[in-house]
């Protein structure tokens, strides 16, 4: 059986060829157009055909092929691929034409260089750059030096602060050393000739301690002669840390006022019940809620003696009125009979105010045993003296009296060993001679150690009970 074949005729003509009829040879001619749209493929008379017979192929350039040209199936596929590539090429060509039609990019012309610099100009530029580098180097060195000075200053300030903090929190037990920071202001009345001796005597008394003594220019409280105190402060108490923080030095007024009164004036105030009015005036003048008020009364003993037969009644009446005022207003009374007495009262009051901040330090750290840094003496005898002064209320003068009779600790221990009763232990040093007071003045009366101090010494040095109470209210 003869297999059929299909003859494909390619033509550039735009006219469509008529489809073959069934009466014609068992071949069909298909006209391939140049258009991108493929016409539908005609039905094949035999699906098993392996080849197509091409009778005539023509292209757009009118190149003729041999009249008979046979394409295999793979060649047909390649022809289709070629047509597709041609189509893609035409699309890319049209796209490139569009891109070519877009406005060209503007290319800036590089600036033209002027004539070259002369040797002199180059030298000047080099010198300017050198000067600029030198200036930058100097600025960098100056900044480095400034940073170093700042760091050194910071370290020095920190070191100074630590030193001051340690100094301000150092325990001070000697009242006299605190007077250099204190100033007492006498009432203006003591500028008068009749009162001036007390001012001069007190100034001489504290001269060796470098305390400042001055006279007021006017009365601080109307109608009252008031002593006042100021302190040079270098620290503030920190409640949270219970320490004193160093601050810049400043002067602050103490919350203490002392009213100077003659005995007759005090009695008149008590009779008129105006003591509370005086306290109210002082509170308003000092603007302090916890103001400590003292009445320094001069000549009360002489005033009582002048009452003659009524002396006892007047004394009792004054004492009751004073006690009532003390309870109502918390006023403290100090009595003087002479200028030396008044000087000592003012000195004690000033020293107590001076040591007051250090009492806070003492209570903040070890209230039961505050004085923990005790230095040894210059000799064995001096060390023995310092050991004895650690007993509560035993003054250096009392210690000297004990050392005079018991020059060594062993001698005193042997004396305690010879005792038979507790009364002998408690009275071991009672009556030993004491020549001076705490402030260094000579004692006029009571020149012996009393039994209370003697009992404390016996309990401290010879007592066997570890729970025995040596000092009641030591820090009050």
Domain holding 82, by residue range, is: 7-90
Are 14 and 34 in contact by the 8 Å Cβ rule? The answer is no
Same structural domain for residues 359 and 287? Answer: yes
Same structural domain for residues 183 and 65? Answer: no
Residue 389 has pLDDT above 70, yes or no: yes
Residue ending a domain, choose from 334, 365, 396: 365
Same structural domain for residues 318 and 437? Answer: no
What are the residues facing 228 on neighbouring strands? 185, 257
Residue ending a domain, choose from 336, 365, 394: 365
CATH, residue 340: 3.40.50.10130
Same structural domain for residues 254 and 300? Answer: yes
Same structural domain for residues 309 and 403? Answer: no
CB contact burial 1-14 (16+ within 10 A = b; e otherwise): eeeebbbbebbeee
- Residue 335 covered by a domain: yes
Same structural domain for residues 86 and 183? Answer: no
Same structural domain for residues 284 and 400? Answer: no
pLDDT of residue 32: 47
Residue 7 has pLDDT above 70, yes or no: no
Are 28 and 20 in contact by the 8 Å Cβ rule? The answer is yes
CATH, residue 412: 1.10.150.670
For β-strands 226-238 and 243-262, DSSP reports them as: antiparallel
Same structural domain for residues 32 and 65? Answer: yes
Q: Please report how many Cα atoms fall inside a 13 Å half-sphere around the Cα of residue 397, on the Cβ side.
A: 15
DSSP letters along 143-180, please? HHHHHHHHHHHHHHHHHHHHHHHHHHTS----GGGGGG
Q: What is the pTM of this model?
A: 0.51
- Residue 341 covered by a domain: yes
Residue 53 backbone phi and psi in degrees, to 5: -100, 125
- Residue 163 covered by a domain: no
Give the residue with greater pLDDT, 143 vs 371. 143
- Residue 405 covered by a domain: yes
Give the residue with greater pLDDT, 12 vs 393. 393
- Residue 455 covered by a domain: yes
Same structural domain for residues 354 and 386? Answer: no
pLDDT of residue 241: 80
pLDDT of 62-107, one tens digit each?
444 444 444 444 455 555 555 656 555 554 555 455 445 555 556 6
- Residue 100 covered by a domain: no
Same structural domain for residues 72 and 192? Answer: no
């Amino acid at each position: 059986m003869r297999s059929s074949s299909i003859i494909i005729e390619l033509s550039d003509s735009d006219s469509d060829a008529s489809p073959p009829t069934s009466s014609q040879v068992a071949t069909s001619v298909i006209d391939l157009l140049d258009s991108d749209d493929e016409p539908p493929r005609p039905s094949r008379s035999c699906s098993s055909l392996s080849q197509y017979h091409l009778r005539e192929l023509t292209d757009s350039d009118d190149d003729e092929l041999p009249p008979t040209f046979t394409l295999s199936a793979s060649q047909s596929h390649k022809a289709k691929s070629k047509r597709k590539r041609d189509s893609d090429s035409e699309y890319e060509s049209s796209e490139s034409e569009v891109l070519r039609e877009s406005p060209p990019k503007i290319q800036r012309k590089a600036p033209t260089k002027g004539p070259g610099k002369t040797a002199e100009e180059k030298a000047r530029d080099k010198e300017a750059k050198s000067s600029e580098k030198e200036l930058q180097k100097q600025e960098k060195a100056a900044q480095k030096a400034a940073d170093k000075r700042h760091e050194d200053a910071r370290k020095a300030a920190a070191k100074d602060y630590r030193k001051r903090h340690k100094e301000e929190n150092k325990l001070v037990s000697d009242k006299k050393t605190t007077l250099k920071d204190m100033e007492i202001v006498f009432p203006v009345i003591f500028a008068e000739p009749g009162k001036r001796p007390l001012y001069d005597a007190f100034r001489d008394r504290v001269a060796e301690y470098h305390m400042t003594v001055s006279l007021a220019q006017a009365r601080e409280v109307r109608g009252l002669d008031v002593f006042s105190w100021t302190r040079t402060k270098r620290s503030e108490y920190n409640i949270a840390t219970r320490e004193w923080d160093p601050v810049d030095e400043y002067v602050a007024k103490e919350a203490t006022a002392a009213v100077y009164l003659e005995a007759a004036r005090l009695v008149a105030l008590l009779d008129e019940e105006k003591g509370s009015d005086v306290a109210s005036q002082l509170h308003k003048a000092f603007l302090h809620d916890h103001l400590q008020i003292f009445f320094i009364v001069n000549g009360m003993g002489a005033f009582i003696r002048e009452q003659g037969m009524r002396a006892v009644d007047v004394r009792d009446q004054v004492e009751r009125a004073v006690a009532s005022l003390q309870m109502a207003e918390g006023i403290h009374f100090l009595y003087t009979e002479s200028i030396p007495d008044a000087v000592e009262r003012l000195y004690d009051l000033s020293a107590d105010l001076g040591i007051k901040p250090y009492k806070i330090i003492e209570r903040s750290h070890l209230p039961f045993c505050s004085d923990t840094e005790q230095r040894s003496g210059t000799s064995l005898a001096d060390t023995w003296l310092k050991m004895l002064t650690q007993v509560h209320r035993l003054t250096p003068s009392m210690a000297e009296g004990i050392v005079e009779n018991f020059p060594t600790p062993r001698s005193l221990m042997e004396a305690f060993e010879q005792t038979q009763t507790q009364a002998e232990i408690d009275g071991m040093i009672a009556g030993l001679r004491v020549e001076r007071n705490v402030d260094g003045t000579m004692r006029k009366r009571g020149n012996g150690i009393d039994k209370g101090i003697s009992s404390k010494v016996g309990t401290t040095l010879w007592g066997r009970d570890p729970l025995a109470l040596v000092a009641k209210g030591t820090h009050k």
